Structure 1
Amino acid sequence: MEGESERFQGKPVVVAPGGTKIIAVDEKAGEDVELVETGTSTVPHFPKTIHLPSSSANSEDTEYTLLGLGIRTVSFLSIQVYVVGLYVQTSSLASLQKNLIQSVNPMASALIPDEKDELKKRLLDGEESHKIWNTLLTDANSQLNMAVRIVPTRSTDFGHLRDGWVRGITSKTQTLSSTGPSEFADDSFGAALKEFKTLLAGKGKAPTNSVIILKRDTEGVLTVLYQSKDGVVNDFGRVQDERIGRLIWLGYLGGKSVSSEGARKGVVDGVMELVERPVGSVETKVS
């Protein structure tokens, strides 16, 4: 592997001995970063694990593991906009595994092939996928810390990114409101949405290969982080209302129409790896 395209955050990308892994070699730190191929030459790799600031000010950075990724495209020409990956705090993987397994078979510790097929069908179904993820995201016992990592494949700006998320939030609320009383009709939700818009206002451009992180903690608090191409990380702030982050997550994972069907399928593939192993034996593995 040679050339500028075969570098990840300035580090050379190589195939590890044995040919089973792709890694970025960090000679200074002495640590290698395992990579996952994305399917696009513009942003060819995503890290298998990332480290993000803990919600607790006194805690060290926390490891998150990639569950799945895909490419967001727009228009009938399928123009690539960004690569998006869903990460789960590594220590939360067992909880996610348990909840997904028990959504199919409450008595099981792992899913057999027929049950896996049933879960996969549900996670790709418009109505069922919404129910499963909405339940996971609202259940305080789920204890899920998750993050969405976005890397633009073409230069964009935070105005466009914000508008896309807001359109998705609005679409979800309209769909849900049409089926009965809505939890999104009160003034506090409108204020939270305005807060999210303000958070991203005037933030300027997000060039190719910059990194945007949306982090959602166990309380549903949404934090927005941005890493420029030179590696500097900025904390844009947070939205306390759990509904904002939940609707953004559902925009990628639940419902008939999602922001990236490829990303949803990638996440489902990662889920299938989780649920075939016994509860509590989760490894940080994403193929």
Structure 2
Amino acid sequence: MYTNTLAKGITKNYLSRNIRVSRFSTFLRLRNTAAAHSTSNASSVNASAPKKYSNYWIASTLGLGVGALLYSYQTAGKLPEIEYFEINDQINSFPSALRPPLYPLSTNYSLLGLGVRSVIVESFKVYGLGIYIADSDRKLVPMILNSFFLKKAFIDTDESKTHKENVKAALDDPVKSVILARNLLDGGVRMTAKFTPIKNTNLTFVREGIIKTIWNHPDAEANKEILEKGIDELRKAFNKKGSFLKDDDLLMELNADGSLQITYVNCKHGDIYKMDLVKEPAVGRFLFSQYMSGPNPLSVPCKNEIVKSLVDLV
């Protein structure tokens, strides 16, 4: 499935590289202020409710332009309130939604799950991770997970459980979850990953960590030749070097055709740097599969929240 020819119509690159976007910079300062005043102690999406910041408040602060647009959407009932979830007291809270033009993405995304990535020992926390699903693709989740083939062969295998209970059991299973994740991602479900480092690091270290994550996928060896070419493309696409500072963001948007757009956001100054598009679909799909399935997810709390969110969509 990863060798299919790329579908036409790859997401248009709306923002040129290494440019300052003043409206985005304004929002980032606003977001940081909102996060600083958040009274939430939530450690996950399903923890106690965080403080809410309505789009009307955002609109009033931003004034005309983007703020007025958000307000018009809010009054029309098209946008819910944005919530902020604290996952680590060293970094800003994560929003419940990522929406252009406030974030350099092609469409609106809503939170599926979040958590902290730890390495070696749980006390060594590296970065905050949030996984978001495209709002317009949420309807694809029940269509795919309720398909006759998946229900019959992989999901509804325990007749004593409801379909939702069987879906959760399958998504919790280290083998079945990989199959379900593959079907969701091959089915064109768009997702975005948001990385926020807890300690200063560098982009080369992050790039090599992403590559290692892809190679650790259970199906990597069977797709070695494809992945070797795709990872070579990823290395070339990752053309920004240097520091990755605490509280900056790295956004990785997985498009419907499997292509991957990586964007670095300097949250202190509002600078945006879009890297080259990674066209090989195996790279992005293997990567996101590792966030939501398999025996060794990158962040167990994040994976557990993703499972619950997907079950709620079925």
Cα separation, partners in 2 of 1:270 and 1:198, compared to 1, 3 Å? same
| Residue among 22, 26, 30 paired with 2:51 | 22
Alignment of 1:48 onto 2:91: no
Structure-2 change in CA distance of 1:52 and 1:214 (3 Å): farther
* Amino acid in the other structure paired with 1:176: D
1:135 matched to 2:183: yes
Count of residue correspondences: 247
2-side partners of 1:204 and 1:124: how far apart? 37
Give the Cα–Cα distance (whole angstroms) in 2 for the partners of residues 153 and 213 of structure 1.
15
1:232 Cα offset (Å): 1.8
C-alpha displacement of 1:35 = 2.0
Structure 1 residues 226 and 272, CA, compared in 2 at 3 Å: closer, same or farther? same
Which of structure 1's runs of 4+ aligned residues deviate more than 4 A? 30-33
Residues 62-108 of structure 1 show CA distances to partners (whole Å, capped at 9, x for unaligned) of 211111111111112431111111111111111123222334379x9
Partner in structure 2 of residue 176 of structure 1: 219
Aligned to 1:238: 277
- TM-superposed CA distance for 1:149, in Å, is 1.1
After superposition, residues 163-202 of structure 1 pair within 5 angstroms as 163-172=208-217, 175-176=218-219, 182-186=222-226, 189-202=227-240
Q: Offset at 1:157?
A: 1.1
The CA distance in 1 between the partners of 2:194 and 2:111, in whole Å, is 9
Distance 1:274 1:200, change over 3 A: same
Q: Structure 1 213/193 Cα, relative in aligned 2: closer, same or farther at 3 Å?
A: same
Q: Which runs of 5+ in 2 are unaligned?
A: 1-29, 41-47, 72-80
Shift in Å, 1:15 = 6.9
8 Å Cα contact 1:15-1:23 kept in structure 2 = no
Shift of 1:158: 0.8
Distance 1:20 1:123, change over 3 A: closer
For 2:223 and 2:311, the matched residues in 1 are separated by 31
1:104 aligns with 2:151: yes
Kept in 2: contact 1:52–1:64 (CA 8 A): no
2:33 aligns to what?
Answer: 10
Q: Which has the higher strand share?
A: 1
Pair 105,70 (structure 1): closer, same or farther in 2 beyond 3 Å: farther
SS in 1 for 2:216: helix
SS of match in other structure, 1:223: strand
- 1:120 corresponds to 2:168: yes
SS of the aligned residue for 1:76 comes to coil
| Other structure's SS at 1:259 match | coil
Tell me the TM-score normalized by structure 1: 0.76
Q: Which stretch shifts more, 122-131 or 74-83? A: 74-83
How far apart are residue 196 of structure 1 and its match? Answer: 0.5
CA distance in 1, matches of 2:184, 2:106: 24
Does the residue aligned with 2:99 lie in a helix, a strand or coil? strand
Q: Is the 8 A contact 2:50 2:85 kept in 1?
A: no
The answer to whether the 8 A contact 2:201-2:245 is kept is: yes
Pairwise CA distance, 1:43: 2.5
Name the SS of the counterpart of 2:247 in structure 1.
coil
- What letter is aligned with 1:217? N
Matches within 5 A, 1:267-278: 267-275=306-314
Alpha-carbon distance change, 136 to 226 in structure 1, aligned in 2, over 3 angstroms: same
Q: Which amino acid aligns with 2:241?
A: K
Unaligned runs of 5+ in 1: 1-6, 54-59, 276-287
Question: Closer, same or farther in 2 for the Cα pair 1:143/1:198, shift >3 Å?
Answer: closer
CA distance 1:202–1:67, shift in 2 (3 Å): closer
Distance 1:62 1:256 in 2: 31
Deviation for aligned residue 1:250: 1.6
Distance, in Å, in 1 between the alignment partners of 2:239 and 2:271 is 19
